[in-house]
Copies of this chain bind each other. A is one copy, B any other.
């Protein structure tokens, strides 16, 4: 069986859990407390030298890291992964939209106190996050989903942090098309929430 090393609040972990749920794949969930350094132990680093979740152990014992790589691995050959060459590239390019939202959320929602560097960098992260939201809004004003007119990996990858952007104190009220899209994503079959354990 697949084993997923993960942290429930992680948007990147949620991307993988959402794909696993969509595909109905059974897996063992091993929770690692990233705030307590549980992904920096020698034991974990032997699984993933980058010391990050999500990390997926395959049935042959090998480990895969990076949510973008993992979700493609799982979804390849299913309706979640487009077959058309251009649609595949468009799906891959979505993955870079959200680092600013993810980082701002982590700092604001999970850290007891920001470092001086984080305090100084936060305005850039907020600005970058809003720039990404602006681009998403423009696309979703004309399209129901991100790639090829139907729900797929690109939507999962972008939904993961967008739907918790308010935890980074992003104001989503001025993004009607993003809100409507989030509703459509959550209404897809086999949806699970970020806190849902398998």
Contacts and interface: CB of A to CB of B under 8 A. Distances in A.
Interface stretch (A29-37, A60-68, A101-109, A171-179): A60-68
Interface string A47-62: 0011000000010001
A117 B117 CA distance: 7
A110 interface: no
A66 B117 contact: no
Interface string A108-130: 00000000110011001000000
Nearest to A65: B93
A85 B89 contact: no
Contacts of A88: 72-73, 76
A69 B93 contact: yes
Interface residues of A, number: 30
Contacts of A188: none
B138 A49 contact: yes
A58 B73 contact: no
A66 B49 contact: no
Contacts of A117: 117, 120-121, 124
Nearest to A139: B49
Nearest to A56: B89
Contacts of A64: 86, 89-90, 93
